[in-house]
Amino acid sequence: MGTLSGAGVTPDAPFEEPWQARAFAMTVRLHEAGHFTWPAWSEHLGRALRAEPERPYWESWLAALEALTAEKNLAGADDLDAREQAWRRAHAETPHGQPVRLPDQ
């Protein structure tokens, strides 16, 4: 099973990084919009956790979300790659200590 390091995780703050909260919220919102069922999500997350047992838990969560969105044609690999590159550029251009802002696409 994937690991959840626990450093910085408390009942009041279950996420170590903002991207983890965003991935969680996106998953919930996609489910609420009817794009997938919780059993389908559970299957994808379980598959991601088993595929790389040493991978950190939230990275497995993200891998499962990417796989499910691609399977449902919600976002293709090209879309994900373009967004990742945009994030990398924005991160490199953001002064230290400032929030990273992505341009709208």
Listed by start position, the domains of the chain span 29-93
**Terminal alpha carbon distance of the chain:** 35
In sequence order, what DSSP letters do the residues of 56-71 get, joined into one string?
BHHHHHHHHHHHHHHH
Measure the CA–CA gap between 16 and 52, rounded to whole angstroms. Answer: 20
Across the strands, what pairs with 10? Answer: 13
pLDDT in tens, the chain (105 residues): 444 554 556 777 788 988 899 899 999 999 999 999 999 999 999 999 999 999 999 999 999 999 999 899 887 677 777 777 887 888 788 888 888 787 764
Decide: 7 and 20 in contact? Cβ < 8 Å. Answer: no
